Structure 1
Amino acid sequence: MNEEQVENQLSIELSEEVADGVYSNLAIITHSNSEFVIDFIRVMPGTPKAKVKSRIILTPEHAKRLMSVIQDNVEKFEAANGKIKSGENGYNFPMNFGGTMGQA
């Protein structure tokens, strides 16, 4: 490795708490003219309320990069494991998981 490569390396720290991850089975994305907000939510069977477990705020440029790398990774996954099944229009998420539906 040359000196320039060593100087340009980024050291990333992953705490034990963050490494455990947070399970999410729903994401809601909103945006303004200056940022994208992605709320990751866990919906549980028979529960009328769901909590946002994590919120990520991105610039439009970073949101577009994220979209691109996710698309690339999905393509690689499907090449190795077969096509990911999705419902009609790419959305098949039973909001009540077969349990009772909450009312607003």
Structure 2
Amino acid sequence: MTDKTPPTRQLQIEVPGDLTPIYTNFAIINHSYNEIVIDFAHVLTGAPKARVQQRLVLTPFHAKLLLNALQTNLAAYEKHFGEIKMQGAGIPTAPPGGFDPTQNVM
């Protein structure tokens, strides 16, 4: 029997030079059966409202891949720089259906 492992492909990712990064400190996450939607906003202290600046739509499979990548990277970050303290961080409460990191909803 021969090993028919497919060859590994390398994917080249191009980041355009004119790509404008956004700063976000707030996310609202919603889902349907087929997709996970994450809206990113920048909330200013004391401002009565915030505008969504970017929307990310993923399949549940790709959302789980993103979750795993974030967990891996945050663990490496904390190993290098120390634990990220969440207690008393002034985390805003999200609207219904949004992301509230103080709640464990599943």
The TM-score by the shorter chain falls in which range? 0.7 to 0.9
- Distance in structure 2 (CA, Å) of the matches to 1:56 and 1:94: 21
- Distance in structure 2 (CA, Å) of the matches to 1:30 and 1:17: 30
**One-letter identity of the residue aligned with 2:90:** N
> What is the match of residue 101 of structure 2?
none
Following TM superposition, the consecutive aligned residue runs of length 4 or more in structure 1 with deviations greater than 6 angstroms are none
Q: Deviations over 1:49-93 (max 9, x none)?
A: 2011110000000000100110011111111111001026xx732
- Distance in structure 2 (CA, Å) of the matches to 1:81 and 1:54: 28
Structure with the higher fraction of residues in helix conformation = 1
- Distance in structure 1 (CA, Å) of the matches to 2:60 and 2:92: 30
5+ residue gaps in structure 2?
A: 1-6, 94-106
- Distance in structure 1 (CA, Å) of the matches to 2:56 and 2:92: 24
Task: Give 1:45 shift.
Answer: 2.4
Q: State the TM-score, normalized to the length of structure 1.
A: 0.74
> What is the match of residue 16 of structure 1?
17
Task: Give 1:94 shift.
Answer: 4.6
- Distance in structure 1 (CA, Å) of the matches to 2:18 and 2:85: 32
Q: State the TM-score, normalized to the length of structure 2.
A: 0.73
Matched, 1:54 2:40: no
5+ residue gaps in structure 1?
A: 96-104
1:36 to 1:94, Cα distance in 2 relative to 1, 3 A: closer
Task: Give 1:48 shift.
Answer: 0.9
| SS of equivalent residue, structure 1 residue 73 | helix
Q: How many residues in Structure 1 have an aligned counterpart in Structure 2?
A: 87
- Distance in structure 2 (CA, Å) of the matches to 1:94 and 1:63: 23
> What is the match of residue 84 of structure 1?
84
**One-letter identity of the residue aligned with 1:13:** E
- Distance in structure 2 (CA, Å) of the matches to 1:80 and 1:15: 29
